[in-house]
Structure 1
Amino acid sequence: MNWKRKLKVASVVVVVALAVYLALPQNHYIVRALIYQQVNIDDYKIFHNRTVKAGTPQPWRLHEKYNSYQLTNDQLKYFNDFRTVAFLVVKDTALLFESYWDGYGKDSYSNSFSMAKSIVSLLMGCALSDGYVKSIDEPVGNYLHEFAEGDKAKITIKHLLTMSSGLSWDESYSTLFSLTTQGYYGKNLPKLVLNQTVVKEPGKTFEYRSGDTQLLSLIIEKATGKTLADFASEKIWSKIGAEHDALWCLDRKDGVEKAFCCFNTNARDFARFGQLVLNGGRWNGEQIVPEEYLNESLTPASYLFDPETNKNVDFYGYQWWMINVDGYKTWYARGLLGQYIFVIPSLNAVVVRLGHVRNNNRIDGTPEDVYQYIRFGISIVKSIENNE
């Protein structure tokens, strides 16, 4: 057999082997990842979804100076450079400013990406308030039997909330074979997160893991006997005046919610989560999320060490981020492509940014655009206050 024929035979063998490999049920996610190439804010269209039902709509009242602010050329350039689709500011519970790009509008759905983690944290607070979960210091094994023995038995709900579980989740977004890619495109999230192993001592090191949030969602489902979407509707979404039903992407038809990423709604309704936090967990006089739990959520887990910044954590609580920008303390939820809900308590303001691209330049471990969007929001509020 000459070398050309050998090469042809070898090529056929490789192609057949690859086809067989990709045909295996556990590898179907690779095919989907190859087809779609990269994640998108409209990915709810390619997944099965479960509806998070809204209640009685409570449209935002418009501030007396609604949309009187004119974006500067520098601000417009920044928004355009990172393909922003929505920027919104709520001040004193009134809609002060909103702008949309790229064909998106006030009713357009967008993927939350990891902002969903902050929503799951709020839902854990609701589960605690209702007595479904007794304490965040409980072992995960009290709810998920796969964590009842061995090293995994040492992991508590608090470890999951603070991203300090020590589990083996691979958060890489740059490889087809990472657990995050499997979690996003795969069809069996419970198996993926329940089969993890412990690689570090829990409660010592902060390492961002989407798997930790997914485990929190499984605990909530197990404890309440309800799907995450139904519980979210019952406890929060139907109570905070959302104008639209939301969609929570599933791992498969009638499967489980992709709790670590994929809550889909519009900028106006995303802002309601920020307003709920700004209100101390209350809405129209009803305590929806326990205030004590919320305060803990918004307090840095400073006893944890962060290997990325080589210092103790001063930026993360229970699935919520925090930062001080120009003297303005800010709590926020954030997503992969620059999805943000910012809560600025000293201004009584909420800022939402949605878009296709995040600025991945980092300042002390934080994406640079976090600073920019907070400053843009502050500028809008201060300009209106100063009648400029």
Structure 2
Amino acid sequence: MTRPMTRSMTETAPLSDLMWTRGYTDPDWVRRYTTAGREISPSRRVWRGAGPSSALPARPHDLDALEMSAPDGSTLKLPELFAAARTDALVVLHRGSVVYERHLHGTEPHTPHFNASAAKSYLGLVAAMLAHEGLLDRTALASHYVPELAGTAFGEATVDHLLHMGTHMSYAGRRFDKAIEAQRYFAVVGHQLRPYGYNGPTSIREHLATARATGAPGTEFRYENGNVEALAEVLRRITGISTSALLGELIWSHLGAEEDAYYILDGEGVEAACGGFSATARDVARLGEMLRRGGTVGERQVVPEAVATTIASGVPDGYPRRIRFPAAPTDSPATFSYHDLWWILNDPYDSYMASGIHGQRLFVSPRLDLVVVHFGSQVMSPSVPPAPLVQAFLQIGTHLTSGN
């Protein structure tokens, strides 16, 4: 008698199950989405460059038994954190060496993984580099570079407003709701994520054109994807090349990456710059290590030192120093700042991070000599508390620093 086939614990859902109405509450849906971008949507590669990959020397530490404190006063160990965060990959670098690395649920070191909104920070880094070179005027209106944005909330904001989520706006006359607008953005980018009868914008540019200001820019922090997409269009106009080519030319091809990265594209072939980027955890760790070292890879200065070393300290006057992180409970203390699309921790270690939905993090802590990359497929539900990733990273860093 033949035993019936059953789905394994690590097997992911078929592509046919990726219905946007399932939202973020099905872990199989989430993992399939975070690891299969090129199978779901058109994509464009971010070239790794022609040279050899840069070394990531290994200096293993057994961190599995390290007890870490959670915000609720409980303690947990890394395997428990992995279960809570539905971790797909974790790479920890300390002083340039890989001290801990895990790839779970069928992912492998060479598997590109959805970075989600962590990609916002990478674009912010590109913009800061172009501004440093004098090619981008932070004080100019976005419509100065993209005339089609004139009259929209984004076109009437400055580049610096976009870099700090400073627009106050709504789409197509709707009352602004962050969660709903995130879902609508996904419907714009991916036709397979549109509900039956959808008749909204079918490209990012169409979507941006519906945004109207509901308040003066620079008066309120409002985390919204459109700021990043408008900024990406500005950078494309300045440079004349795609977002994929721009990130590849300025940064990715100089990291010694092992794999090409890629962006998913909308129906017009435009990159989903605010969150459609995928790369391996090891290569994102190389990006973080480059920043920790002041913008250098080996002897090459990839990012100007003045840009790399002021990510955590360069919050301009007039922008809030205390913002509640989106994944934090509503009663949590506000401890973050936001600068050039990076989250700033305001801690003693000059820590900052790129952060995305489902647990994507690039965490850089220069004074702890620490870089951490976490990829996850955590479900998003009020009944599922967010895993204490940042607290765990800091405790790992202080443990490693005190022991070396």
Q: TM-score, normalised by structure 2?
A: 0.76
- 1:313 Cα deviation from its structure 2 partner: 8.3
2:167 matched residue in structure 1:
165
2:211 matched residue in structure 1:
196
1:142 matched residue in structure 2:
144
What letter corresponds to residue 192 of structure 1 in structure 2?
Answer: H
2:104 matched residue in structure 1:
101
- 1:164 Cα deviation from its structure 2 partner: 0.3
Pair 1:344-2:378 in alignment:
no
- Structure holding more helix per residue: 1
Pairing 1:8-27 to 2, within 5 Å after superposition: none
1:255 matched residue in structure 2:
269
* Structure 2 contact 355–361 (Cα < 8 Å) conserved: yes
Counterpart selection for 1:303 from 309, 313, 318: 318
Counterpart selection for 2:296 from 282, 291, 307: 282
2:185 matched residue in structure 1:
180
Cα distance between partner residues in 2 of 1:112 and 1:307: 22
* Structure 1 contact 171–179 (Cα < 8 Å) conserved: no
Q: 1:368 to 1:156 in 2, by over 3 A?
A: same
Cα distance between partner residues in 1 of 2:138 and 2:335: 19
The DSSP-based 3-state class of the residue aligned with 1:60 is coil
Pairing 1:207-226 to 2, within 5 Å after superposition: 207-226=222-241
Cα distance between partner residues in 2 of 1:96 and 1:307: 32
1:23 matched residue in structure 2:
none
1:51 matched residue in structure 2:
45
- 1:60 Cα deviation from its structure 2 partner: 3.0
- 1:274 Cα deviation from its structure 2 partner: 1.1
Counterpart selection for 1:121 from 116, 120, 124: 124
What letter corresponds to residue 397 of structure 2 in structure 1?
Answer: I
Pair 1:33-2:27 in alignment:
no
- 1:286 Cα deviation from its structure 2 partner: 3.3
Where does the alignment leave 5 or more consecutive residues of structure 1 unmatched?
Answer: 1-30
Cα distance between partner residues in 2 of 1:224 and 1:231: 8
Q: 1:153 to 1:66 in 2, by over 3 A?
A: closer
Pairing 1:314-325 to 2, within 5 Å after superposition: 314-324=336-346
The DSSP-based 3-state class of the residue aligned with 1:199 is strand
- 1:224 Cα deviation from its structure 2 partner: 0.6
* Structure 1 contact 338–358 (Cα < 8 Å) conserved: no
Structural RMSD (CA): 3.2
Q: 1:154 to 1:267 in 2, by over 3 A?
A: same
Counterpart selection for 1:355 from 344, 354, 376: 376
* Structure 1 contact 137–157 (Cα < 8 Å) conserved: yes
The DSSP-based 3-state class of the residue aligned with 1:247 is strand
Counterpart selection for 1:371 from 390, 393, 399: 390
For residues 148-193 of structure 1, give each alpha carbon's deviation from its aligned partner in whole angstroms, at most 9, with x where no partner exists.
45876541000000000223255633x4895433344354011111
Q: Percent identity?
A: 25
Cα distance between partner residues in 2 of 1:71 and 1:312: 30
For residues 5-55 of structure 1, give each alpha carbon's deviation from its aligned partner in whole angstroms, at most 9, with x where no partner exists.
xxxxxxxxxxxxxxxxxxxxxxxxxx9624887653124120110010112
Pair 1:74-2:67 in alignment:
no
Counterpart selection for 2:86 from 83, 88, 95: 83
Q: 1:46 to 1:151 in 2, by over 3 A?
A: closer
1:242 matched residue in structure 2:
257
Q: Which moved more, 1:194-203 or 1:334-343?
A: 194-203
Kindly tell me the number of residue pairs found equivalent between the two proteins.
347
Q: 1:247 to 1:183 in 2, by over 3 A?
A: same
- 1:196 Cα deviation from its structure 2 partner: 1.1
For residues 341-385 of structure 1, give each alpha carbon's deviation from its aligned partner in whole angstroms, at most 9, with x where no partner exists.
100111211011111016878xxxx96623333235325524752
Q: TM-score, normalised by structure 1?
A: 0.79
Cα distance between partner residues in 2 of 1:83 and 1:195: 36
Cα distance between partner residues in 2 of 1:372 and 1:136: 33
Where does the alignment leave 5 or more consecutive residues of structure 2 unmatched?
Answer: 1-17, 67-75, 192-201, 325-329
- 1:92 Cα deviation from its structure 2 partner: 1.6
- 1:255 Cα deviation from its structure 2 partner: 0.6
What letter corresponds to residue 160 of structure 1 in structure 2?
Answer: L
* Structure 2 contact 153–167 (Cα < 8 Å) conserved: no
